[in-house]
Structure 1
Amino acid sequence: MELRHLEVFRVLAEERHFGRAAQRLYLGQSSVSQQLQRLEADVGAQLVHRTSRRVELTAAGEVFLEEVEQVLGRLEQAVQLARQAASGRRGTVRIGTNYPAGRLLLLPLLERLRDRLPDLSTLLREMGTDDQLRALERGDLDLGLGYGPVDSSRVDSVHLRDVPVVGTVRHGHPLADRDLVGYPELGRHRYLTGVRGSGSHIDQVVLRTAAAAGVRLVPSDASTDLASYLLELEITDAIGFCSVPRGEQNRASGMAVLRLGPPEPTLQLHALVARPAPPPVRLVLDQLVALAGHPGGVDAA
């Protein structure tokens, strides 16, 4: 049994006339008749009553038509789904993001994907930039949103936007009532470091900016991890550095947040993509670039 025979039968059932069916199928009437005969032979039952003026379905033909419409409908759907998958419009993209990129980039991206690529699903993980890079190189992640640029021969990065770095101190700290703190004054206080996965990126940009202003910042003797970072700041006079979104979270936890500069230290948020990027990842990257207003497109990596 061939699919083309099923299509001939469906069109014939709709037109109830050999001539009109032949015209729709761009076939001769004899060809339509021959293909119907072969189909009836394969089914083992007569499917139509033939008259000189009209075609009528037999009882077997009525039942068979219902099933044929389902089969052909599923086939058409399968073709559409396969084409969507090949073009990247269907599938699952595994996305890793650090905290600021999650707040500033991921949330608007997900809303945009729901509107423009509704058949594309995402699997999300919050993780630091270094962990994202390792996961991308292992093939455990499709797209990362973190600090960049990155130094990897296997991962491309696209600069999407900048985010300022702010200081965080406890209430009661000598700088807690200040809105803006310059580097000379910042240099009189030690800073707390050691937040695995993000602290090194943040510390480095603040240290470079302060050094360009002629100030050397000194780390605290203590180091900590993210889980106890705020606790350490609450019991010392050290200063912590973080992105603006994390600073807002710290403010909600009762900490004071300070703007730094001038100049203001900033972090670059990048999209991180392992080479070569498959079609679904490139489509998501296109949407990210459009959101960020990046003029270079995905080929700017």
Structure 2
Amino acid sequence: MELRHLISFLAIADELHFGRAAASLHLAQPSLSQHLRRLERSVGVELVARNSHEVRLTPAGEAFLGLARDIVAKVDQAGAAARAAAAGKVGTLRIGYNFPAGQRILPGVLTTLDSRHPAIDVEMFELRTGPQLAALAEGKLDVAMVYGKPSSTSLRSRHLLRVPLVAIVGEKHRWAGRRRVPFGELAAESCVLFNRAQSAAMYDTILSAAQSSGIRLTIAEEVDDPGATAILAAIKPVVGFASAARGVFGGTPGSPRTTSVALYDPVPILDLYVAWSDARNPLVEAFLGCLPATLT
């Protein structure tokens, strides 16, 4: 099985037209057809069915497609890593992060990275932990800054910070103006939560605090976007949850305001980690080298 044959198959799968696929690869159509035949002989099954009216993937071709994309992507990543190493760390580093990381860690780290490695470009994506880890596993991110130590054996991680959670309420909520409340008082409140897959560590920390307080939370709304959580808390008599870093912002300009209230007995606390693939990547190594030894 040759890489060029996989690339030809992917072009056919994308275009579902041999002429356009050949043109996209700057190949003659007979050469493209030959690549496909050789790939199918190597795999042992028909991957593409065609007649005078249409070109389509067979069920075997559909099953083969995703893994073929992964193989070609991994080869591209390997080439990029090799070129970056040869050129002294040149390339684009894709960083996932959450709000506390964006506020407390990235500004300083990126300043240091730019001064030490000015040829490294950075792309940043603010996401919850679940989507970050999925993107890291799929090779769409190089670094993730997430809640909770990742359990995957294919990932490495380093602890960065401990992040307290706070309650978020609207300015007319009966808690507004209070500096802090015991967690157990949430028994009398309706709460806004999110799907656990979005951030398992945060979800479990909140429910663990409720269990420690001997209460059961009433979940009135389930919203995955933190901004939408703040809007709901601002306009409804509900309580949302956020990191203390996000809580101090009190909503976006022009929208209904929220206020944060510290929680205690217990204080729900999250551990923030930086995570990356265990495959060597010089760009990731450069980023990690710019992280301070200790963070407070």
TM-score interval, normalised by the smaller of the two chains: 0.5 to 0.7
Conserved in 2, the CA contact under 8 Å of 1:86 and 1:279? Answer: no
**Counterpart in the other structure of 1:206:** 206
**Counterpart in the other structure of 1:138:** 138
**Counterpart in the other structure of 2:267:** 264
1:275 aligns with 2:274: no
Please report how far the alpha carbon of residue 97 of structure 1 lies from its aligned counterpart in structure 2 after TM superposition: 1.1
Q: Which amino acid aligns with 2:268?
A: P
Distance 1:199 1:271, change over 3 A: closer
Alignment of 1:1-301 (within 5 A): 85-86=85-86, 89-194=89-194, 198=198, 200-212=200-212, 214-226=213-225, 227-250=227-250, 254-290=257-293, 292=295
* Identity percentage of aligned residues: 30
Report the secondary structure of 2:286's partner residue: helix
Q: Which amino acid aligns with 1:170?
A: G
Q: Which amino acid aligns with 2:96?
A: G
**C-alpha distance in structure 1 between counterparts of 2:103 and 2:88, whole Å:** 25
Please report how far the alpha carbon of residue 156 of structure 1 lies from its aligned counterpart in structure 2 after TM superposition: 1.7
Conserved in 2, the CA contact under 8 Å of 1:102 and 1:145? Answer: no
TM-score for the superposition, normalised by structure 1: 0.63
**C-alpha distance in structure 1 between counterparts of 2:211 and 2:116, whole Å:** 45
**C-alpha distance in structure 2 between counterparts of 1:199 and 1:138, whole Å:** 18
Q: Which amino acid aligns with 2:137?
A: E
Report the secondary structure of 1:167's partner residue: strand
Please report how far the alpha carbon of residue 88 of structure 1 lies from its aligned counterpart in structure 2 after TM superposition: 5.3
Please report how far the alpha carbon of residue 199 of structure 1 lies from its aligned counterpart in structure 2 after TM superposition: 5.5
Please report how far the alpha carbon of residue 160 of structure 1 lies from its aligned counterpart in structure 2 after TM superposition: 0.8
Distance 1:195 1:255, change over 3 A: farther
Please report how far the alpha carbon of residue 134 of structure 1 lies from its aligned counterpart in structure 2 after TM superposition: 1.2
Distance 1:240 1:262, change over 3 A: same
Please report how far the alpha carbon of residue 94 of structure 1 lies from its aligned counterpart in structure 2 after TM superposition: 1.2
**C-alpha distance in structure 2 between counterparts of 1:216 and 1:196, whole Å:** 19
Please report how far the alpha carbon of residue 120 of structure 1 lies from its aligned counterpart in structure 2 after TM superposition: 2.3
The count of residues paired between Structure 1 and Structure 2 equals 211
**C-alpha distance in structure 1 between counterparts of 2:198 and 2:178, whole Å:** 25
**C-alpha distance in structure 2 between counterparts of 1:221 and 1:191, whole Å:** 6
Conserved in 2, the CA contact under 8 Å of 1:143 and 1:272? Answer: yes
Residues 60-114 of structure 1 deviation map (CA, whole Å, 9 limit, x = unaligned): xxxxxxxxxxxxxxxxxxxxxx997348533321111122211111111111112
Report the secondary structure of 1:229's partner residue: helix
TM-score for the superposition, normalised by structure 2: 0.64
**C-alpha distance in structure 2 between counterparts of 1:289 and 1:88, whole Å:** 22
Conserved in 2, the CA contact under 8 Å of 1:87 and 1:279? Answer: no
Structure 1 unaligned blocks of 5 or more: 1-81, 294-301
Conserved in 2, the CA contact under 8 Å of 1:160 and 1:289? Answer: no
**C-alpha distance in structure 1 between counterparts of 2:169 and 2:185, whole Å:** 14
Conserved in 2, the CA contact under 8 Å of 1:194 and 1:200? Answer: no
**C-alpha distance in structure 2 between counterparts of 1:113 and 1:199, whole Å:** 28
Report the secondary structure of 2:160's partner residue: strand
Conserved in 1, the CA contact under 8 Å of 2:173 and 2:237? Answer: yes
**C-alpha distance in structure 2 between counterparts of 1:196 and 1:205, whole Å:** 11
